[in-house]
Amino acid sequence: MRYPQLDDRLQAAADLFPVCAYGADIGADHGRLSCHLLHSGKCARMIVSDISAESLAKAQALLALHELADRADFCVADGLNALRGRPNVQCAVMCGMGGRLISQILREGCGLLQGAVLVLSSHTDIPLVRQTLMQIGYAITAERIVRAKGRFYVLMRAEPGNAHYTERELYLGPALLDNPPPLWQNYLRWREGVVACEAGHERQLAWIREELAK
C-alpha cells in the first residue's frame, strides 16, 4: 500500500525532526506527517493530537489504514496540553498554524515541554514566533525555506538554550542569515515586494535589500 506523499513543506518538517522514541504532532489535522514519521522509523511512537475531533478522526483513519495506529496516542487537546502527563516527549512539531497562535500555544504550554525539541512552521508572524522562542528559553538551531503550492514557507528547529536575537535577526532569521539556503534570494525578492507595499517598514525593507546586495 502506498504511503501518503509529503509536499515540500511537510518534508522539510520531517527532515528537521530528530530520530526519537516519543514525539508529538500538535495540530496533526490529516495525519500525513505523523504517518510518515512513524512509517520511516524516525519516531518510534507519537502523540497525535488536534483541537478538532473531526480532524483527529481523519488522522486516526489514515494511521489505521497503514497499520500504524498501535504506535500512536490519539487525543483531542488544545495545543501543548496534549503533552500533559507524558513526560518523555523528545520532539513536538507544529505546522500549518498562524504565528500568533503558535506563539500563544508556546507561551501557555512551555512548562509542559520539559526540554523537547521543537519543529515549527507558521504561515504568518514569523518574527513573533522567533521572539517567543527566545523568551521561553529556546534557541533556533536550524531554519529552512521551501516553496509549496505557490508560496514560501519558513520552518525552524529550536532547542533549549539562551538566545539573544537582534530585531534584524528576529525578522530575517538567525540561522538563515548564518547559512543562507538555495531559495534565500528568491524568498528575499518576494519579501521585498510585499514589504515595499507596506507603510512603516522602512528598516525591514533596508535589511532585505542589504541581504540581496550580498
Whether pLDDT at 198 is above 70? yes
User: Using CA atoms, how far apart are residues 154 and 121, in angstroms rounded to an integer?
Assistant: 6
Least-confidence region, from 84-88, 124-128, 197-201 = 197-201
The residue ranking higher by pLDDT, 149 or 212, is 212
User: Using CA atoms, how far apart are residues 95 and 98, in angstroms rounded to an integer?
Assistant: 9
In the structure, what pLDDT confidence band is assigned to residue 195 with cuts at 50, 70 and 90?
Answer: confident
Burial of 155 (0-12, 13-18, 19+ CB in 10 A): buried
Q: Which helix (H) or strand (E) holds 174?
A: helix 174-178
| CA distances (Å), origin 155, targets 67, 163, 202 | 29, 18, 25
Shortest CA distance to 64 belongs to which of 31, 112, 105, 25? 31
User: Using CA atoms, how far apart are residues 94 and 83, in angstroms rounded to an integer?
Assistant: 13
DSSP symbols for 87-102? TT--EEEEEEE-HHHH
**How confident is the model over 64-87, as pLDDT tens digits?**
999 999 999 999 999 999 999 988
Q: Residue 113: its pLDDT value, please?
A: 97
Q: pLDDT > 70: what percent of the chain?
A: 100
Mean pLDDT of 163-169: 97
Least-confidence region, from 25-39, 85-99, 134-148, 195-209 = 195-209
Look over the chain and give the mean of its residue pLDDT values, rounded to a whole number: 95
Mean pLDDT of 132-147: 97
The residue ranking higher by pLDDT, 212 or 1, is 212
DSSP code at position 4: P
27 φψ region: left (φ > 0), alpha (ψ -120 to 50), beta (else):
left
Q: Residue 1: its pLDDT value, please?
A: 66
Q: What is the pTM of this model?
A: 0.95
User: Using CA atoms, how far apart are residues 59 and 49, in angstroms rounded to an integer?
Assistant: 9
